[in-house]
Structure 1
Amino acid sequence: MQTDLVVPVKALGDAKSRLRGAVAPDEHTRLVLAILLDTVTAAAQADGVRRVLVVSSDPTVASTLAKAGFECVPEGASPGLNAAYRHGAHLLREADPAGRVGALQADMPALRPHELAAAIKTSDGGRAFVADRQTTGTTLLLSAPGEPLNPRFGVGSARAHAASGALPLTDSWPSLRCDVDTAEDLRAACDLGLGQHTSALLGAVACGPIEC
């Protein structure tokens, strides 16, 4: 069964505040967009992924994704990350009520398609999640076919998703676990090997404490 993924993105003025300082201040927005593009590009290339739907009301995000050939829809009436995941899942379910929906974080610039594909395959169609490299957060949440996504992202989301009945997927998959919130996280992603957009940006601008 194919999986459709929801990828929410904040307004660029608010996005990745803890990552500020990794590049020159006037390059921060470009860094956020580069990370997003590398994430959705890798996700779309993964076996088992049918659609990647970005949820964002930021016009720059929408226009950047449209130029790259990706779907983007505005946020729904309710604010917040979990509301954005639910909104995207609802839209995907309108197209395929019995389909399988996944929630993917937008900040994995080192993501490898084969690792995402392996996680989807390992989940064997059940409700499941992948924790981040610190083991407390969540980078990927998968619903069972036709069942609610029930996202519980936020502080301690790995524990919250496990408590909701999602199976923790425990294979290594380093690139799938490497979401980027801080300069330290970005260095870890550099060590794994960045996607082309983030790599090109960091090679072209002043990178503060980051050395790739």
Structure 2
Amino acid sequence: MSQPRWAVVVPVKRLGAAKSRLRGALVGVPHEELALALAADTLRAVLACPAVAEALVVTNDARVAAAARALGARVLPDEPDAGLNAAFRHGAAAVPAGWVAGITADLPALRPAELAGALLAAQNGRTGVRRFVPDAPGGGTVLLAAPPGVDLDPRFGVGSAAAHAASGALALTGDWPSLRRDVDTAADLADAAALGLGSRTAALVEVVRPARAAG
């Protein structure tokens, strides 16, 4: 029997406001270019995952929307100033009945096979229960998954892993390092680079490396 395929919601802020703690992480690279690269590499991996039927990008940024459509995603307008959880809810509401997941847009090392493994794990076990994948440090959330008929009910933000657990979601603990490695800081970006970055983020990092070597 074939496995169900997922709709995956990927909210992306306006590039000028996204990933503020990464500002200046790549000297000489405009911040908006780095934020766009992180989102594009995340989305490319999502769309390459065999378990994914559709990706929905929720954004009000025209450059993000254009890149998402070029990759094959569906784009939904974000509600101004509504916040990340509202964007996840908005995307999930646009999905027909079925399996739905929300994923953060800052996973530039994401491997499609690891995402497929996490989504498969979310389908197994107790029925009618949301599942989530904590980030590498353990306090945040990179993936939240809901079965048919169950609201996604996102609780992203500071301490989201504990918030999702308190809401009844169950943590998934598989070995998925590229899925768990979200990028908020320059140190996170270095850790993601050690795992192997997607092409768009890698190209920006390569621009910076020769300059550092020359200096």
The TM-score, its normalising length taken from structure 2, stands at 0.90
* 1:154 aligns to 2:174 (yes or no): no
- Residue aligning to 2:115: 116
Question: 1:62 deviation in Å?
Answer: 1.1
* Structure 1 moving runs of 4+ over 3 Å: 205-209
Output the aligned Cα RMSD.
Answer: 1.8
Q: 1:31 to 1:78 in 2, by over 3 A?
A: closer
Letter in 2 for 1:84: A
2:182 is paired with a residue of what secondary structure?
coil
* 1:62 aligns to 2:61 (yes or no): no
1:129 is paired with a residue of what secondary structure?
strand
Where structure 1 has 5 or more consecutive residues not aligned to the other structure, the ranges are none
- Residue aligning to 2:142: 139
Q: Distance in 1 between matches of 2:211 and 2:74?
A: 32
- Residue aligning to 2:98: 99
Query: Which residue of the other structure, out of 37, 43, 56, is the alignment partner of 2:46?
Result: 43
Letter in 2 for 1:66: R
Q: Would the aligned equivalents of 1:24 and 1:206 in 2 still touch at CA under 8 Å? A: no
Q: Would the aligned equivalents of 2:101 and 2:144 in 1 still touch at CA under 8 Å? A: yes
Query: How many pairs are equivalent?
Result: 205
* 1:86 aligns to 2:89 (yes or no): yes
Q: Distance in 2 between matches of 1:26 and 1:3?
A: 35
Question: 1:64 deviation in Å?
Answer: 2.2
Q: Would the aligned equivalents of 2:123 and 2:147 in 1 still touch at CA under 8 Å? A: no
Q: 1:8 to 1:208 in 2, by over 3 A?
A: farther
1:7 is paired with a residue of what secondary structure?
strand
Letter in 2 for 1:179: D
Question: 1:28 deviation in Å?
Answer: 1.3
Q: Would the aligned equivalents of 2:44 and 2:71 in 1 still touch at CA under 8 Å? A: no
- Residue aligning to 2:13: 10
- Residue aligning to 2:172: 169
| Higher-RCO chain (CA-CA 8 Å, sequence separation at least 6) | 1
Identity %: 51
Q: Would the aligned equivalents of 1:22 and 1:208 in 2 still touch at CA under 8 Å? A: no
